[in-house]
Each structure stands twice: as structure tokens, then as C-alpha cells.
Amino acid sequence: MRPLVLPPNPVPRFYRGGAAIAALRGTADVGERTPEEWVGSTTTVFGERELGLSPLADGRLLRDAVAADPAGFLGPDHAAERGANPQLLVKLLDAGERLPVHVHPDAAFARETLDSPYGKTEAWIVIDTAGPTATMHVGFREDVNGQTLEHWVRDQDTSALLAALNVVEVSKGDVLFVPAGTPHAIGEGVLLVELQEPSDLSILLEWRGFASGEDDASLGLGWDVALACVDRAAVHADRLLADRLPAEADPFFRAERIDGSQPAELDRGFAILVLTEGAGELRLEDGEPLPVGRGDTLLVPWDAGPWRLEGDVVGVACRPPAADAGGPA
């Protein structure tokens, strides 16, 4: 099985953005509220049957292709242990405006209240920013009691919510790991690769102007239930920013920077590639090299064997959870 060049898969959302993705990918801008592209996705948008699923060049959905040959795509060990689900969702995200303060439940909460096997721990790898930096709001600076949080949300006290969060200035190459339960707001003008658990569960703590109402914002749970998923403990700002993912991300997903100017053989296994700069070739042990460059997104199946990039091309290789890292609680 050869690597697959993935066609564009833009996904409309409730917030503005998308022009930076179109510029990266060399595609037409499809509207100001298409701020995400779901890359190599076998996951659907919450409440939808097919929206979010990645098409292949031959017209099939990737979900169906993987289901037909899980060992070939994911490897025999992954297929035997975890089935035909890569347990990974990769996105390109272009924040054309500051996103609202929101939170994602963990797997235990999602199973109990939303009948979902996955929560949404995520990570952000910054590709570019509109200015020298972009501003993220991540995790409470100090412990917040439940009554105070409920007051902020019910009264839609956005100023208080934002002021309670850590402010993190990010630039190209920065990495942030955001465990489920951590309240956050992605800032305007940032283009990033997002890795996450394969779900689409967002609870909007700041919903006015973004959601149709409180029922929509709370995923139909109501605030008495929904706010129980929020981690109200303080998060130290110096732990948020890094140049690579921490080991605690391994049960959820993995990522590695790839640089064709320093070619090294990459381990065999399912990988979603997002190429952000330059041009070069993807080389396998067998067969002709595949020309690749900035803006390309590819899926490398397990069956393709080990591979490497050559040239001045750089990007990110996104992979499923480590086989020996356990899984989400």
C-alpha cells in the first residue's frame, strides 16, 4: 500500500476563519466560517452522519477504506487491540477570531453522560501567526470554586472568565498540550495543527454570540451536569508551553517534527503528515519516490513500511496513541 495524498476536507464551524488554511493548501477560500480542515479523519462532526469524514482521491471515504483493511492501514497490533479506529483526529485550524472560552470533557465523563467512548484531550502545534505572536488563554491561574464558575457561565461574564485564565503568547513552532477538562480560548490570528482524541465534544462556557442557546452550549446536558467536567484547579503557566509534546500525551496521540534536510528513517506505522514548508520527496523502501511540498497532507499506512523525507520540506507527522502507553481513563 502506498502513501495517500489527501484531498481537502474543509469543515464549517461556528467561528470565523479559513483563509490561512486555503493559503497553506493552495486551494480556493471556501468561506469565512470554514476555519478547520479535518485531515485523514474517520470522525464525524457532533450530531452528523458524514460531515467531517475525509474523502480519498478515488471517491471512497477513508473510514470505509480503513474498515476494509484495518491491519494494512493501522498495523496488525493496533487492529487486534483497537479495531479499525485510528483513535486520532488531526485538524488544521485557522482562528479568524478569538474562539470562545470552552472546555472538552474527558473520556470518563463522555462515556457516562454523552455515550461517547472518547473525550477530547488535544494539543496544538503552531504553524504560523498573523503577527509576531498570538494570544492563547489556557487553564485557570488560580483555583476556582464551583459556585463562582457557575455564576460566570450563567451570567455570561466573559471578562471574568478570560481574566481567570493564563495568558500564553505563542509563535511559530510552539507546542501546547491541553488535557481534557482544561478551559481555554484559542486567540485570533493563529494557524495550527491540532491533534486530539477522535470526538467533537465542546462545551461553550462563553456561548453568547457563538451558540444558539444554553442547551446547545452545554451539549444538551444543562449546566448542573456540564460544569462537572471542568478542571477548576490552577494550572501553572510555565508548564503550558514547550517545543514538543510531553510523555503524558502518549496515551492519546504522538507527533514528531519531520525535516527533509536532515533525513532519517521514520518508524513504520500509520501517520498523518502535514507539510508546512519547502518541497522534497517522500521515499519508501520500495517504489518510486513521491514528490511532496508545502500544504500537502498525506496518510502513510502501516503497510507502506518505513519511510523518510528528503529535500527542504518540513512538517509534522501525527500518530495514534503509543501501543504501550495505555489509554484514556
Q: What is the CATH number of the domain that holds 291?
A: 2.60.120.10
pLDDT value, residue 278 = 97
Core vs surface per residue 240-251: b (16+ CB within 10 A) or e: bbeeebeeebbb
Query: In this structure, are 64 and 136 located in the same domain?
Result: yes
pLDDT over 70 at 13, yes or no: yes
pLDDT digits (tens, 9 = 90+) for 62-83: 999 999 999 999 999 999 999 9
Q: Are strands 165-170 and 10-11 parallel, antiparallel or unpaired?
A: unpaired
Q: Is residue 325 part of a domain?
A: no
Cβ–Cβ under 8 Å, residues 173 and 242? no
Query: In this structure, are 94 and 49 located in the same domain?
Result: yes
Q: What is the mean pLDDT of residues 205-214?
A: 95
- Following CA atoms 180, 216, 161, 175 in sequence, which dihedral angle do they give, to the nearest 10 degrees? 40
Q: Is residue 51 part of a domain?
A: yes
pLDDT over 70 at 328, yes or no: no
Q: Helix, strand, coil proportions of the chain in percent (round to 5)?
A: 20, 30, 50
Q: Is residue 281 part of a domain?
A: yes
Query: In this structure, are 139 and 107 located in the same domain?
Result: yes
Query: In this structure, are 245 and 265 located in the same domain?
Result: no
Q: Is residue 324 part of a domain?
A: no
Q: Is residue 27 part of a domain?
A: yes
**How many domains does the chain contain in total?**
2
Q: What is the mean pLDDT of residues 291-320?
A: 97
Q: Which of 233, 249, 265 is the last residue of a domain?
A: 249
Q: Is residue 328 part of a domain?
A: no
Average pLDDT, the chain: 96
**Rg of the chain's alpha carbons, rounded to an integer?**
19
pLDDT value, residue 310 = 95
Other CB atoms within 10 A of residue 288 CB: 9
Q: Which of 205, 223, 249 is the last residue of a domain?
A: 249
pLDDT value, residue 240 = 92
pLDDT over 70 at 329, yes or no: no
pLDDT value, residue 264 = 83
Q: What is the mean pLDDT of residues 220-233?
A: 98
Range of the domain at 40: 4-249
Of 30 and 309, the structure prediction assigns the larger pLDDT to: 309
Q: Can you spell out the DSSP letters for 186-238?
A: PPTTEEEEEEE-S----EESS-TTTSSSHHHHTTTS-HHHHGGG---S---GG
pLDDT value, residue 238 = 85
* Rounded CA separation 148/295 (Å): 44
Query: In this structure, are 13 and 60 located in the same domain?
Result: yes
Query: In this structure, are 183 and 261 located in the same domain?
Result: no
Which pLDDT band, with edges at 50, 70 and 90, does 263 fall under?
Answer: confident
Q: What is the mean pLDDT of residues 269-293?
A: 95
Helix (H, G, I), strand (E, B) or coil at 305: coil
Which pLDDT band, with edges at 50, 70 and 90, does 157 fall under?
Answer: very high
Query: In this structure, are 96 and 238 located in the same domain?
Result: yes
Q: Which of 249, 280, 307 is the last residue of a domain?
A: 249
pLDDT over 90 at 237, yes or no: no
Q: Could you give the residue ranges of the DSSP H alpha helices within the chain? A: 19-25, 62-68, 70-74, 76-82, 107-114, 146-154, 158-163, 214-217, 223-226
Query: In this structure, are 221 and 274 located in the same domain?
Result: no
Query: In this structure, are 202 and 288 located in the same domain?
Result: no
Helix (H, G, I), strand (E, B) or coil at 320: coil
pLDDT value, residue 303 = 97
pLDDT digits (tens, 9 = 90+) for 20-45: 999 999 999 888 999 999 999 999 99
pLDDT over 70 at 325, yes or no: no
Q: Is residue 224 part of a domain?
A: yes
Query: In this structure, are 291 and 168 located in the same domain?
Result: no
pLDDT digits (tens, 9 = 90+) for 95-133: 999 999 999 999 999 999 999 999 999 999 999 999 999
Core vs surface per residue 93-117: b (16+ CB within 10 A) or e: bbbbbbbbbbbbbbbebbeebbebe
Helix (H, G, I), strand (E, B) or coil at 112: helix
pLDDT value, residue 326 = 62
- Following CA atoms 108, 109, 110, 111 in sequence, which dihedral angle do they give, to the nearest 10 degrees? 50
pLDDT over 80 at 14, yes or no: yes
* Rounded CA separation 66/69 (Å): 5
Q: Is residue 327 part of a domain?
A: no
Query: In this structure, are 243 and 273 located in the same domain?
Result: no
Query: In this structure, are 278 and 136 located in the same domain?
Result: no
Which pLDDT band, with edges at 50, 70 and 90, does 327 fall under?
Answer: low
